[in-house]
Amino acid sequence: MRGRCGLLRWPASLALPRTAADRLCQGWRGNDYRRGDILFYQGNEPQGLYFVCSGRVALSQSAGSGRQQIVRFASGPDVLGERALIAGRPYEATAEAAEDSRICFLDASRFRRLWEGEPALVRALARRLAERLGQVQDLCAELGLRPLRERLARLIARELERAPGSRLADLGASRQQLAKRLGTAPEVVCRALAQLERGGILALEGRVARVLDQRRLRAAACLPAAADDFYQDRAALRSSRRDPDNGQNLKDGKGQRRYPWQGEAR
């Protein structure tokens, strides 16, 4: 299938002139990818440019030891493979559909003609590459400077930011995938999640985490508290199907009920 396939949103986000946007939206081939399908492998020569119309794609890097690290997720509208194509170097990561996705593909020869004939596109992609470089630097600093519990809390907080108003954070298809995102082992991630659950910050429900105390989650992530966290936390506790301490009563020495925002029992 050829056509625009949702591509109109991308030129608008790049602030391209109308003529450049029209040229950019021509010549793409659309394909549907199931979760787990591979778009391209690390080390392969670039064949073209990929555009995520809908869904989500995980980009991961592998070491010689077999250990993997998810470096970022791409959600529509977003583009993949532009750095390898521009630099003329192999892909530095493997792209795998994290959920069912609609992906469009533009072959390398057509992209090079656009690259040579549309200065506005060159400037727009240069800006995006500069932003990606900043994200990579942030990831390196996070892995090197922040403990696992803080990185996990930040990941959950970012998932909530992707769906404003929601208290459910998608942890990925498996604990192994979550471990790849955090740069650690699955068993270490399971222990960190259990600590957050025992502390009444969240409740695990399969592949999602229901956040019960967003103020304390953001404190664990070293992020500033949101203005409405207090009221949202109370609503979350009322609607939760189980206690925030995984079924155990939280009572102080006088037998009074104690909630997470009230601090530790005295």
pLDDT at position 243 is 45
Residue 40 CA to residue 84 CA, distance in Å, equals 12
Residue 148: count other Cβ atoms within 10 Å of its Cβ: 17
Whether the predicted pLDDT of 231 surpasses 50 = no
pLDDT band, very low/low/confident/very high, at 50 (cuts 50, 70, 90):
very high
pLDDT at position 238 is 53
Mean pLDDT score of the chain, rounded to an integer?
A: 76
pLDDT at position 165 is 79
pLDDT at position 13 is 63
User: Please, what are the domains in the chain?
Assistant: 9-144 (2.60.120.10), 147-248 (1.10.10.10)
Report the candidate in 30, 27, 40 with the shortest Cα–Cα distance to residue 95: 40
Residues in the chain: 266
pLDDT at position 264 is 42
Q: What token pair was written down for 88?
A: 């003329």
pLDDT at position 23 is 78
Instruction: Convert the pLDDT of each residue in 122-136 to its tens digit.
Output: 887 778 777 777 666
Once rounded to an integer, what is the mean pLDDT over residues 87-93?
90
Question: Phi-psi bin for 125: left (phi > 0), alpha (psi -120 to 50), beta?
Answer: alpha
